[in-house]
């Protein structure tokens, strides 16, 4: 896999040598560098793509996305700024609203502001894409708005019933809403899906404790 990624990166390097003003080539090489773990190189290339095409939506969106994908708080302001520009260029593109909402939710810890963006992502987006719907459900979860949280995850389940995160978060809202029976069902399904996944180790432990007590 790494060999193919390296070959792809090198192919885009050759393309850049032939057409250094083509922003798409810089953008593609940037994502190959990201996949190879070359974070500084990836950011440099995608920033160059944006500089070559500041009025092209995908260039601004890609810069916002690469900053976000670093998972480093030091880049959250740069990500926000690039996504602001992407939204200005294409105000009804749901991807910009979704990613900026996700950024606000996870990097800025601001579910209220995230909710505003995610409402628009749902409005403009594909009704069969669960990402914005589930993220909005998560924003409702963090805000303690239990009914809308439960409703959004019910919608997400209709599209994708294999995501353990949905069961965990809706279970939280059901439990907080006093619906122990349905919370138990969601939590048990979450554990079935997540028990061997190290990223959910803490959640599995906490939820198992809740199940033991309830």
* Among 162, 186, 106, 163, CA closest to 139: 106
Confidence grade of residue 84 (pLDDT, cut at 50, 70, 90): very high
**pLDDT (0 to 100) of residue 2:** 60
Q: Give the ranges where the chain is alpha helix by DSSP (H).
A: 2-18, 23-35, 39-52, 57-69, 76-89, 94-106, 111-124, 130-143, 146-159, 164-176, 180-194, 201-213
Q: Residue 20: count other Cβ atoms within 10 Å of its Cβ.
A: 11
Q: Determine what percent of the chain is predicted with pLDDT higher than 90.
A: 91
Average pLDDT of the chain, as a whole number: 95
Fold of 1-68: 1.25.40
**pLDDT (0 to 100) of residue 140:** 97
**pLDDT (0 to 100) of residue 96:** 98
pTM equals: 0.91
Is the pLDDT higher at 158 or at 4?
A: 158
* Among 158, 123, 127, CA closest to 115: 123
Place of tokens 């926000």: 80
For 149, counting Cβ atoms within 10 Å of its Cβ (0-12 exposed, 13-18 middle, 19+ buried), the class is buried
- Sketch the domain layout of the chain as residue ranges: 1-68, 162-214
């Amino acid at each position: 896999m790494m060999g193919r990624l390296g070959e792809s990166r090198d192919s885009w390097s050759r393309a850049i040598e032939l057409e250094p003003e083509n922003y798409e080539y810089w953008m593609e090489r940037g994502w190959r560098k990201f996949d190879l773990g070359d974070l500084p190189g990836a950011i440099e290339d995608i920033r160059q793509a944006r500089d070559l095409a500041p009025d092209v939506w995908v260039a601004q969106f890609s810069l916002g996305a690469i900053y976000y994908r670093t998972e480093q708080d030091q880049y959250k302001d740069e990500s926000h700024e690039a996504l602001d520009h992407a939204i200005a260029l294409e105000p009804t593109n749901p991807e910009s609203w979704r990613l900026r909402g996700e950024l606000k939710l996870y990097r800025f810890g601001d579910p209220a502001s995230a909710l505003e963006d995610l409402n628009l992502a749902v409005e403009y987006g594909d009704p069969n894409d669960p990402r914005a719907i589930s993220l909005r459900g998560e924003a409702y979860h963090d805000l303690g708005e239990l009914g809308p949280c439960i409703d959004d995850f019910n919608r997400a389940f209709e599209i994708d019933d294999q995501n353990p995160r949905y069961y965990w978060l809706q279970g939280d809202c059901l439990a907080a809403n006093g619906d122990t029976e349905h919370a138990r069902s969601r939590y048990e399904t979450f554990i079935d899906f997540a028990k061997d996944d190290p990223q959910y180790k803490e959640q599995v432990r906490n939820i198992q404790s809740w199940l033991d007590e309830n």
